[in-house]
Amino acid sequence: MMHCVTCSAPVNIAVVKYWGKNDETLILPANSSVSVTLHQDQLQAQTSVAVSHHFEKDRIWLNGKEQCINNPRIQNVIREIKRRARKRKVSSRDTDTEKLNWKIHICSKNNFPTAAGLASSAAGYACLVYALKCLYDIDGDISAIARCGSGSACRSIHGGFVVWNKGEENDGTDSIARQIQPHTHWPDLRVLILVVNEQKKHTGSTEGMQITMKTSELLQGRIRCVPDKVEKINQAINDRDFQTFAEITMKDSNQMHACCLDTYPPISYLTDVSRRIIQLVHHFNRSCQQTKVAYTFDAGPNACLFLLKKDVQRFLHLVKQFFPPTTEEKDFIRGKTEELTETVSNGNEEDRSYFPLDPVADSLKYIIYTMPGPGPQELPPDQSLLDKDGLPKTLS
């Protein structure tokens, strides 16, 4: 007998960033954060979890390769899920309690290249926790369990617009994520991810925020001003006020990266290409006499841009002028390309006096065109990544 569940979960992008922890084991953040969950049609993690009395040991495969399951974060997640399931199962059927003692096989993959440097661990842990919740039939909040895998993963438990409250309790019980608004609340909001052509290995976010926490004086000032930003961006989301949403998003990204530079030794995630994207966005906004595009950067050089559907074509046209692609259009722009129907004619060339930047070819790998989307979902059994023996289908 084997019980198997398959789920999918989304990536999220913070607009008020999480940077710094008060507790490394429980993953309690130094400040609250706010994010937008991205649509799973473009970016998604998929995970199958199976339990059987035939399995000899717990095993995990990530993107086709077997990994060590003794990773403390994975262990914390499994332990916490089982604790919650046991608590609930006291009065339920014997078979359910028995299932909790069986060994587990986990198989997970992303539908986007991990090399793209996107927040794959958030989607991965959210997916694992959601799949385990379905397998063991747990109810109540599971974001606090996802948080124990990776802080930002707690926000991927919900779709749409999400706040992760830092919480006040020492045991982390109130450090949970909740939805501010569903993805359908702002139907014309769009997202462009500009994947920068750069191979450099960066300091991981776990390590990076640890050093910032220890050495940056600026971070203390940042932590003090986050509550006000969270309140204001929450209101801007509720009101669909793009100008305020965009300004808070850009300023918060700049502030997080300023704290990274204030870290000793300094950490710089942004590259020359990232900085050119920042300039281009500001030049574009100035030329429109309105804030029409916002950027935000995580622990890497890729830009995540927010804008409204009506402005996407014009802005993309400009991006292609300043970062001329060396690949074909269909490879350069991926995702919701069905929305790119108008041909922007040469007559629409932007006034170069607003854009005192020289074009630099081949500095962007590709662009992902997406939008806000829903939270994790359970998938039908035919989409399982595990075969009838509980082994990855790709290996069988």
- Rounded to a whole number of angstroms, the minimum distance from the CB of residue 345 to ligand DP6 is 39
β-strand pairing of 21-23 with 28-29: antiparallel
CA-CA distance, 344 to 24, in Å (whole number)? Answer: 50
Closest CB to ligand DP6 among 254 and 321? 254
CB 126 within 8 A of CB 153: yes
For residues 68 and 72, what is the distance between their CA atoms, to the nearest angstrom?
Answer: 10
Site for ligand DP6 (CB under 6 A): which residue of 32, 150, 255, 291?
Answer: 150
Give the shortest CB-210-to-ligand DP6 separation in angstroms.
Answer: 8
Q: Give the bridge partners for 50, in sequence order.
A: 4, 105
Q: What is the distance between the alpha carbons of residues 391 and 396, in angstroms, rounded to a whole number?
A: 7
In which residue are the tokens 């450099």 written? Answer: 200
Pick one of 17, 133, 183, 190: the residue that binds ligand DP6 (CB under 6 A). 17
> Judged by CB under 6 A, which of 152, 156, 255, 363 binds ligand DP6?
152
Residue 51 or 230 with smaller CB distance to ligand DP6? 230
Does 33 bind ligand DP6 (CB under 6 A)? Our answer is yes
Q: Indicate which single residue of 20, 117, 151, 372 sits in contact with ligand DP6 (rule: CB under 6 A).
A: 151
| Cβ pair 249, 233 in contact under 8 A | yes
The residue among 136 and 164 lying less far from ligand DP6, judged by its C-beta, is 164
Taking CA atoms, 316 is separated from 12, 58, 228, in Å, by 22, 47, 33
Per CB under 6 A, contacts with ligand DP6 among 319-358 are none
Size of residue set near ligand DP6 by CB under 6 A: 15
Question: Can you tell me whether residue 76 is helix, strand or coil?
Answer: helix
- Tell the smallest beta-carbon distance from residue 37 to ligand DP6 (Å): 12
CB of 164 to ligand DP6, least distance (A): 8
Query: Residue 120 — φ and ψ, nearest 5°?
Result: -75, -25
Among 9, 18, 263, 291, binds ligand DP6 (CB under 6 A): 18
Max Cα–Cα distance, the chain, nearest Å: 74
CA atoms within 13 A on the CB side of 287: 19
Closest contact distance (angstroms) between CB of 170 and ligand DP6 is 18
38 lies in the binding site for ligand DP6 (CB under 6 A): no
Round to whole Å and give the CA distance between 254 and 207.
Answer: 19
Encoded one letter per residue, x for contact with ligand DP6 by CB under 6 A and - for no contact, window 362-391 reads ------------------------------
Distances (CA, A) of 111 to 115, 118, 328, 376: 12, 12, 21, 14
Q: Which is nearer to ligand DP6, 119 or 177 (CB)?
A: 119
Under the criterion CB under 6 A, does residue 205 sit at the interface with ligand DP6? Answer: yes
Contact region with ligand DP6 (CB under 6 A), list: 14-22, 166-174, 216-224, 362-370: 14-22
Number of alpha carbons in the 13 Å side-chain half-sphere of residue 327 = 13
Q: How far is the CB of 17 from ligand DP6 (least distance, A)?
A: 4
Distance of alpha carbon 182 from alpha carbon 162, whole angstroms: 9
Stretch that binds ligand DP6, among 63-71, 116-124, 181-189, 276-284 (CB under 6 A): 116-124
Residue nearest to ligand DP6 (CB): 151
Q: Which stretch binds ligand DP6 (CB under 6 A): 114-122, 169-177, 341-349, 356-364?
A: 114-122
Cβ 65 to ligand DP6 shortest distance, Å:
20
Least CB distance from residue 298 to ligand DP6, whole Å?
A: 4
With CA atoms as reference, report the closest residue to 19 among 303, 298, 217, 249: 298
CA distance linking residue 154 with residue 25, whole number of Å: 15
Q: Which amino acid, one-letter code, is at 145?
A: I
Site for ligand DP6 in 280-299 (CB under 6 A): 298-299
Contact 121, 18 (CB under 8 A): no
CA nearest 161: which of 93, 237, 94, 265?
237
Measuring CA to CA, which residue among 186, 275, 247 is closest to residue 16? 247
Minimum CB distance to ligand DP6 smaller for 33 or for 216: 33
Q: Which is nearer to ligand DP6, 188 or 228 (CB)?
A: 228
Residue 269 CB, shortest distance to ligand DP6, in Å, is 8
**Counting contacts by CB under 6 A, is residue 206 touching ligand DP6?**
yes
Residues that bind ligand DP6 (CB under 6 A): 14, 17-18, 27, 33, 119, 121-122, 150-152, 205-206, 298-299
